[in-house]
């Protein structure tokens, strides 16, 4: 070996060892935690690269005056065992333990493992953690029942690990996994928590400048993982209009009659919270078609789509064909489930939603093998499966079709569906068609007949917007990425992809010098 080769190898080794990669993750909810976990996992195999990860997460301010008695009890108990709820990591707003316990998962399949230390990402890891901590959870969430004073549901018992659990329990699980990951960081990976929110960022060439209220950081990569937020509220609405989350921003100051805009899972949850925990007498649940969500049901028998498939769409990639295929699939599926097919028009024009929901609950109690249960995943994922086959105008048509049938296939938790039915039958909850007019100075609801109403209390459970304006277009030179998703599975996938892109770029950077012409050849 010549002296030039020796010196070249020595310099290359020194350069690699001195390589310092700085990454900022904005947001320490489930998206930020998943990104952190996958980055750590990938960089473990690159000990020559020193990695500094900044985790930007402002403290969570909890308005204790708006909490129900069970929520306050839970807060006190968690403080007594040393858990600071203002500085939890992994769960964000969606899985924060301060939430009412009736804020649950749709079903057991909705949960997912985030155990990066053991590299377990299956649902069972979460439920095993539940069983290992059952004594604590029994104190925090007695019988996993909704807040005190409500009926007890068999799906909420600690003995049934496949039952529906409060999302706050999952938040505690995520925080435990975050602490475990932090405790097992390799020596070449450092984590610095900055208790502030991302304000602005700018990429110039290969560096990204990140600004918070008091700090300016220069990093190599930025991952924005703050999820979605609700649209900003007008100053004129203070005291009358609230966003659904965080739910401790409103409480016993609500008027006796409240309108909740949005009849999806968020709207249903906050409506039930207001009725059962905040002494609200009546809630109007507002949506475009006066319909809500059916409970999630897990079939015990398999069913494979014969008509509503990508292969059938490939033959005729149009929205009209998608509608015809779905109609045919519904007929076949109803026949397979030994149920009478009510017809397309009857499914889309439900006159009495309370009766429709009651019948569905009764039918699925007898057998979980229902067409809606079998087709929920094929229908809700259909657009993503076929969009590459469709021209732009047909993509819009397929999206409109999915939105049209969404009330039949988008789901909520069964306990919430049962509570919702009870509230409908007691006339304390009513479904109404209409929309909220955000441009009005006075909070205004527009009904289908053109009339307007001005409720004293409105909770907005729809209208999510990205937390920060769109990032730079994804290109070969971008150093800014975004991780968010509508499900834990999509968050897992997106976080893993972004971590893979970043580590691949860093690995290419460490190897770049190796491709420079050797000094031996230059002499």
Q: Which residue has the higher pLDDT, 236 or 466?
A: 236
**Residue 135 forms beta bridges with which residues?**
none
End residue of a domain, out of 409, 426, 443: 409
> Is 126 inside a domain boundary?
yes
Distance from C-alpha of 391 to C-alpha of 187, rounded to nearest angstrom: 51
Alpha helices in 23-166 (DSSP H): 30-43, 69-80, 123-132, 134-140
Q: State whether residue 203 is helix, strand or coil.
A: strand
Q: Are residues 188 and 272 in the same domain?
A: no
pLDDT value of position 516:
43
For residue 7, is pLDDT > 50?
A: no
Burial level of 173, CB count in 10 A (0-12/13-18/19+)?
buried
E-strand stretches of 156-240 = 189-194, 200-204, 207-211, 216-219, 221-224, 228-230
Contact between 85 and 98 (Cβ < 8 Å): yes
Residue 204 token pair: 């110039």
Q: Residue holding tokens 């009209």? A: 320
Q: Are residues 320 and 361 in the same domain?
A: yes
Band the pLDDT of 149: cuts 50, 70, 90. Answer: very low
- Condensed to tens digits (0 to 9), the pLDDT of residues 174-214 reads 999 999 999 999 999 999 999 999 999 999 888 999 999 99
Cα end-to-end distance, the chain, whole Å: 14
For residue 471, is pLDDT > 70?
A: no
Contact between 177 and 116 (Cβ < 8 Å): yes
Query: Alpha carbon of 276 to those of 69, 102, 117, 125: distances in Å?
Result: 12, 10, 39, 32
Band the pLDDT of 514: cuts 50, 70, 90. Answer: very low
Domain containing residue 139 = 23-31+45-197+209-227+467-514
> Is 15 inside a domain boundary?
no
Band the pLDDT of 298: cuts 50, 70, 90. Answer: confident
Q: Which residue has the higher pLDDT, 366 or 415?
A: 366
> Is 119 inside a domain boundary?
yes
Q: Are residues 221 and 267 in the same domain?
A: no
> Is 123 inside a domain boundary?
yes
> Is 16 inside a domain boundary?
no
Average pLDDT over residues 37-43: 95
Q: Are residues 472 and 462 in the same domain?
A: no
Average pLDDT over residues 293-318: 93
Average pLDDT over residues 281-288: 93
pLDDT value of position 144:
54
Q: State whether residue 462 is helix, strand or coil.
A: coil
Cα-atom radius of gyration of the chain, to the nearest Å? 26
What does pLDDT average to over the chain? Answer: 85
Q: Residue holding tokens 């609230």? A: 242
The 3-class secondary structure across 307-341, one letter per residue, is: CCCHHHHHHCCCHHHHHHHHHHHHHHHHHHCCCCC
> Is 315 inside a domain boundary?
yes
Q: Are residues 285 and 342 in the same domain?
A: no
Q: Are residues 236 and 324 in the same domain?
A: no
Range with the poorest average pLDDT among 40-54, 140-154, 301-315, 334-348: 140-154
Q: Are residues 158 and 62 in the same domain?
A: yes
CB atoms inside a 10 Å sphere around CB 170: 27
For residue 9, is pLDDT > 90?
A: no
Query: Alpha carbon of 432 to those of 241, 286, 288, 401, 429: distances in Å?
Result: 18, 5, 8, 22, 10
Domain of residue 288, CATH code: 3.50.50.60
> Is 519 inside a domain boundary?
no
- Condensed to tens digits (0 to 9), the pLDDT of residues 217-276 reads 999 999 999 877 677 789 999 999 999 988 888 988 899 999 999 998 889 989 999 998
Q: Are residues 437 and 493 in the same domain?
A: no
Q: Are residues 461 and 362 in the same domain?
A: no
What percent of the chain clears pLDDT 90, i.e. is strictly above it?
Answer: 52
pLDDT value of position 164:
66
> Is 245 inside a domain boundary?
yes
Q: Residue holding tokens 């809606």? A: 372
- Condensed to tens digits (0 to 9), the pLDDT of residues 122-140 reads 888 988 898 888 888 888 8
**Residue 479 forms beta bridges with which residues?**
none
End residue of a domain, out of 466, 481, 502: 466
Q: Are residues 340 and 249 in the same domain?
A: no
Strands 480-482 and 282-287: unpaired
Q: Are residues 431 and 395 in the same domain?
A: no
How many domains does the chain fold into? 3
Contact between 147 and 102 (Cβ < 8 Å): yes
Band the pLDDT of 40: cuts 50, 70, 90. Answer: very high
Average pLDDT over residues 292-309: 91
pLDDT value of position 392:
93
Q: In degrees to the nearest 10, what's the CA dihedral of 486, 492, 496, 499?
A: 70
Average pLDDT over residues 64-87: 89
Q: Are residues 351 and 370 in the same domain?
A: yes
Distance from C-alpha of 72 to C-alpha of 65, rounded to nearest angstrom: 9
Band the pLDDT of 464: cuts 50, 70, 90. Answer: low
Distance from C-alpha of 408 to C-alpha of 26, rounded to nearest angstrom: 36
Query: Alpha carbon of 206 to those of 1, 115, 200, 491, 505: distances in Å?
Result: 36, 32, 17, 26, 11
């Amino acid at each position: 070996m010549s002296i030039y080769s020796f010196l070249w190898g020595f310099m290359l080794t020194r350069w690699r060892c001195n390589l310092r990669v700085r990454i900022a993750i904005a947001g320490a909810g489930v998206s930020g935690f998943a990104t952190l976990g996958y980055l750590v996992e990938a960089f473990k195999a690159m000990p020559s690269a020193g990695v500094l990860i900044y985790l930007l997460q402002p403290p969570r301010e909890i308005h204790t005056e708006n909490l129900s008695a069970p929520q306050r009890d839970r807060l006190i108990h968690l403080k007594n065992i040393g858990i600071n709820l203002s500085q939890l990591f992994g769960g964000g707003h969606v899985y924060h333990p301060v939430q009412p316990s009736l804020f649950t998962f749709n079903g057991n399949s909705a949960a997912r493992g985030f155990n990066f230390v053991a590299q377990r990402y299956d649902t069972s890891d979460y439920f095993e953690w539940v069983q290992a901590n059952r004594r604590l959870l029994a104190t925090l969430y007695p019988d996993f029942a909704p807040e005190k004073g409500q009926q007890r549901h068999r799906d909420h018992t600690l003995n049934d690990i496949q039952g529906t659990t409060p999302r706050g329990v999952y938040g505690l699980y995520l925080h435990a996994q975050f602490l475990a990951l932090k405790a097992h960081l390799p020596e070449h990976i450092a984590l610095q928590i900055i208790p502030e929110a991302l304000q602005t960022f700018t990429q110039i060439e290969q560096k990204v400048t990140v600004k918070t209220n008091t700090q300016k950081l220069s990093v190599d990569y930025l991952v924005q993982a703050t999820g979605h937020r609700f649209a900003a509220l007008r100053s004129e609405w203070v005291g009358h209009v609230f966003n659904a989350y965080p739910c401790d921003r409103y409480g016993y100051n609500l008027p006796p009659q409240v309108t909740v805009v949005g009849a999806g899972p968020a709207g249903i949850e906050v409506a039930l919270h207001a009725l059962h925990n905040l002494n609200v007498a009546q809630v109007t649940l507002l949506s475009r078609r006066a319909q809500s969500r059916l409970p999630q049901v897990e079939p015990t028998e398999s069913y494979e789509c014969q008509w509503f498939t990508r292969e059938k769409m490939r033959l005729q990639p149009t929205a009209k064909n998608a509608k015809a295929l779905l109609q045919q699939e519904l007929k076949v599926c109803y026949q397979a489930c030994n149920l009478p097919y009510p017809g397309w028009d009857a499914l889309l024009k439900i006159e009495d939603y309370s009766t429709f929901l009651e019948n569905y609950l009764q039918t699925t109690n007898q057998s979980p093998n229902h067409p809606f249960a079998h087709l929920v995943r094929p229908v809700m994922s259909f657009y993503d499966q076929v969009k590459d086959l469709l021209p732009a105008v047909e993509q819009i048509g397929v999206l409109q079709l999915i939105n049209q049938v969404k009330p039949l296939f988008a789901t909520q938790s069964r306990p919430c569906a049962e509570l919702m039915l009870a509230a409908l039958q007691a006339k304390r909850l009513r479904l109404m068609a209409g929309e909220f007019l955000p441009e009005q100075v006075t909070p205004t609801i527009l009904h289908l007949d053109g009339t307007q109403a001005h409720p004293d209390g409105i909770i907005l459970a729809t209208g999510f917007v990205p937390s920060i304006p769109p990032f730079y277009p994804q290109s070969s030179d971008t150093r800014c990425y975004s991780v968010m998703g509508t499900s834990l599975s999509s968050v897992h996938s997106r976080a893993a992809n972004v971590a893979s892109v970043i580590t691949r770029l860093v690995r290419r950077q460490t190897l770049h010098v190796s491709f420079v012409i050797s000094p031996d050849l230059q002499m």
